[in-house]
A = this chain, B = another copy of it.
Amino acid sequence: MSLEEVAKRAGVSTATVSRVLNNLEIVRPATKARVLKAIAELNYQPNLHARTLAGGRSNTIGMIASNLENPFFFDVFRSLEAQARSHGYEVVVAHTDYDSERLVRSVRLMIGRRVAGLAVVVSEMDPALIKELHAARTPCVFYDVGKPQERMTNIRVNYRHGIERLVEYLHDLGHSRFAFVGHHSTLAPTSERESAFLASVKRFAPAVEWRTDADRDSFEGGKLAALRVLASGFSPTAFICVNDIMAVGVLRALREKGLRVPEDVSVTGFDNVRLAEFSEPPLTSVHIPRDEIGRLAFAALIPDKELPNIAGQEIVIEPEVVLRASTARAKR
């Protein structure tokens, strides 16, 4: 099923069919109707590869995420996709599962697809890969990695502030022993959160004790990390978790150990995904506006003449603490 068959059936040239397909308004209505009829009768679907190749431009946007299973990433995807769709673009997602090999593969695949733009929402990224993207002239937007440059936009969250506010709040409630639960502690945003945690603890509570532990980015990972902290003999008054998913795992671990939240121990999440409201108890968290991130990402990749152009810039988002029932005054 090709353009040519449609053209033959409609008694026109392939050029005309192409014009109809692309809605070029220079086709006589009668001709257009005939072509449309042929298309419908033949159940014709244009070959996107041929189209992209001949046209020299793609209308698909790529997105690469570390862990689409974590609703944080999914929410960004959803928002980006909504923007894309309303502007006539498609988005293709790849999920790397925090695996750098898969990241490399995904990036190359996106370059091979000659995507119109690429949103990279991963924890860590080899600068060499960014170079490849730059060499391929792919417009990119990075979340939390890289530096702004030509064709490369940056969106980041001021974790430091988010964590500072959390620690300050807990400190005010009388907490004095903190545990920090992250994942793959070597990863950039995690470690930024971790270092922000350490800095905050020192600043607001120089005399307090703390401990950190990390595992996979999942419920299970949060649970294991918490169990390890507890097994080490340290008994924190508060667990600060790198995200809400891990916090839910921590809640389970505490419950299994017979500790009540927030009566005995306080727990905080991060990101403020929907689950934070539905966990038991609901989680005090730090809101990161995924919708806005998705919108900004699209705007950075496909600038709109109407809106201010943010391509090539660095955008910093200020997070906000959301109080719920998982935190309370520390037991004395």
Contact = CB atoms under 8 A, between A and B. Distances in A.
A307 interface: no
16 contacts: A43-B136, A45-B108, A45-B136, A47-B112, A48-B49, A48-B113, A49-B50, A49-B114, A53-B53, A68-B74, A69-B74, A218-B274, A219-B277, A248-B278, A252-B277, A279-B279
Nearest to A135: B43
Contacts of A280: 251-252, 255, 279-280
A45 B274 contact: no
A275 B219 CA distance: 8
A278 B255 contact: no
Q: How many copies does the complex hold?
A: 2
Interface string A35-57: 00000000101111111110000
Contacts of A78: 69, 95
Question: Which 10 pairs from chain A and chain B are nearest by CB?
Answer: A280-B280, A49-B49, A48-B112, A219-B278, A45-B111, A49-B53, A49-B52, A43-B135, A45-B112, A252-B278
A109 interface: yes
Contacts of A146: none
Interface in A98-150: 108-109, 111-114, 132, 135-136
A269 to B, nearest CB: 13
A50 B48 CA distance: 11
Chain A interface helix/strand/loop/mixed: helix
A1 interface: yes
Nearest to A278: B219
Given A46-B112, A78-B95, 4 more contacts: A47-B53, A49-B114, A68-B74, A248-B278
B255 A43 contact: no
Contacts of A294: none
A23 to B, nearest CB: 16
Contacts of A74: 68-69
Given A90-B109, A278-B249, A280-B280, A50 B53 contact: yes
A64 to B, nearest CB: 13
A289 interface: no
A92 interface: yes
Find the residue from A45, A46, A218, A223 having the highest chain B CB count within 10 A. Answer: A45
Contacts of A46: 112
